[in-house]
Amino acid sequence: MRVAIIGSGPAGFYAAEALLKRADALVEVDMFDRLPTPYGLVRGGVAPDHQKIKTVARVFAGTAARPTFRFLGNVQLGRDITVADLRRHYHQIVYATGNEADRRLGIPGEGIARCTPATVFVGWYNGHPDYRKAQIDLSVPRVAVVGNGNVAVDAARILLRTPAELERTDIAAHALEVLRNSQVREVFILGRRGPEQAAFSPAELKELGAMAAADPVVAAEELAQCAASTGDAETDRNLKILRAFAARAPRAGTKKLHLRFLVSPTEILADAKGGVAGLRLEQNRLEARPDGTLAARGTGETELLEVGMVLPAIGYAAERIAGVPYDEKARIIANQDGRVVDPVSRAVIANEYVVGWARSGPQGLIGEHKRASADVVGHMIADGAGLAPRALPGRDAIVSLLRERGVQPVSFSDWKRLDDAEVARGARRGAPRDKIVDVEAMLAVLGQR
Ligand SMILES: Cc1cc2nc3c(=O)[nH]c(=O)nc-3n(C[C@H](O)[C@H](O)[C@H](O)COP(=O)(O)OP(=O)(O)OC[C@H]3O[C@@H](n4cnc5c(N)ncnc54)[C@H](O)[C@@H]3O)c2cc1C
Ligand SMILES: NC(=O)c1ccc[n+]([C@@H]2O[C@H](COP(=O)([O-])OP(=O)(O)OC[C@H]3O[C@@H](n4cnc5c(N)ncnc54)[C@H](OP(=O)(O)O)[C@@H]3O)[C@@H](O)[C@H]2O)c1
């Protein structure tokens, strides 16, 4: 069986491994990625000061070393190849394209200068080629980060780390330069619900209390309504950490990270030059939904928070890809249990599957994709066993097709050369790597330009 996997993030690699290690099926995998570099958000999302998490890439490199695996980087589905091409050249297709679009607050002022979605800010500091030219202006003293998830925590931490803390990481050189000159002194993380509903992981929250020159600030009254024990271990750990933050006095002269709860932005205000000047916030209360969960409801009481930059970190969504069924409501690839379906009739589209965030939306850690992708591979093998054998064009025909179209696929050994070049560049600043952030420059290193 020959399988195309589109996307080389964790979900795609775990699906490849599950396919390639099966003893009951001989599978050839071609993994495509729109970037010349593999690993998806492990490279472009995970924070630069979290190097240990990125070592999972070694596991993926082990999969890539399998003899029937092939990486075709720098090939975008919907631009360089079509779903029809894939159907012709492969028995089965797996979409592992993640969630690369951002969600919007939907309030007046969104989109003005210095209102920067987390997708852009994170992509910029991580050297994602799409965002290398993002205008990130850190000449302002106060920044609001909207959202109570781990991405909000990442963004706030990167804004508050010292250059010394960042230069030994693989942060993009352009971002390090701007952060060196940053005027940001105070960051506000704003949750629309309460501390008990926050989505932070305890480890991420705790790390906010261990920055070299910045301290968390939590007002005791923010925690006054919280239960002593919620019955949920993670929430209890978060509350314990927040209480410890509230009890400690921030060091004099440090930058401050304020954690505020039960507030929603209702309007982003602009200065005379059209950049962010403030954020109108509405106080919320919690209201039970019919399913028992708690929703934030505005009380009508408002305040103005003077900030010069707003970073909404309120979640991601799947991009639409031409020819791939899209669920408009959930903003994922339309599927039933990982089998792609028509979004209207819900009829299964044979031989097409989806894994990872493109399947389930933007929740979950890297390791969680291992089991989830393997489950979908289980469907693929079961469905494949019932199919009549179908002769395909030769394995290299897809490469010839791409070359005819002027596309230059990047192989895994090409990536290893880029990897070596980045690691060598990084050694000059004592960092694990210094990323090449421009696709043309990557191709130049490979001698393809
Ligand atoms: C900012 C951030 C930080 C995170 N930090 C952590 C962390 O510290 N620890 C942790 O466990 N989890 C973390 N996560 C979660 C983790 O990154 C995700 O669970 C995981 O990466 C999702 O895997 P995926 O394979 O579905 O998508 P992705 O990792 O996004 O991979 C999708 C891949 O598809 C490619 N692609 C997209 N469209 C196309 C196309 N049309 N054609 C070809 N290729 C395409 C992309 O280039 C990309 O390589 C973080 C997430 C974010 C957003
Ligand atoms: N270090 C790590 O391990 C790490 C780092 C980064 C990301 N990740 C993972 O990646 C996934 C995505 O993280 P994420 O932070 O993007 O998403 P997330 O965990 O879903 O958090 C999104 C936050 O945005 C809030 N929000 C949504 N819409 C909003 C609105 N209109 N106004 C105000 N707030 C709004 C949500 O509040 P409600 O709860 O009220 O909806 C929630 O607090 C998570 O699984 C996360 O754990 C992990």
* Cβ–Cβ < 8 Å for 77, 97: yes
> Which tens digit of pLDDT belongs to each residue from 282-324?
999 999 999 999 999 999 999 999 999 999 999 999 999 999 9
Per DSSP, the three-state class of 92 is strand
Query: Using a 6 Å cutoff on CB, does residue 105 contact ligand 2?
Result: yes
Query: Using a 6 Å cutoff on CB, does residue 157 contact ligand 2?
Result: no
Question: Is the pLDDT confidence value at 376 over 80?
Answer: yes
Question: Is the pLDDT confidence value at 449 over 70?
Answer: no
Task: Please report the pLDDT score of residue 33 as a whole number.
Answer: 98
> Checking phi first, is residue 331 left (phi over 0); if not, alpha (psi -120 to 50) or beta?
left
With pLDDT > 70 as the criterion, what percentage of the chain qualifies? 100
The pLDDT-based confidence of 23 (bands split at 50, 70, 90) is: confident
Question: Which helix (H) or strand (E) covers residue 118, if one does?
Answer: helix 118-125
Please list every protein residue whose CB sits less than 6 Å from any atom of ligand 1: 6-12, 32-35, 40-41, 45-46, 50, 53, 76-78, 96-98, 100, 122, 151, 154, 321, 356-358, 364-366, 369
| Spatial distance between the Cα atoms of 5 and 324, rounded to a whole number of angstroms | 13
> Which tens digit of pLDDT belongs to each residue from 78-99?
999 999 999 999 999 999 999 9
CA-closest candidate to residue 264, choices 220, 297, 229, 308: 297
Residue 129 makes CB contacts below 8 A (sequence gap 6+) with: 35, 437, 438, 439
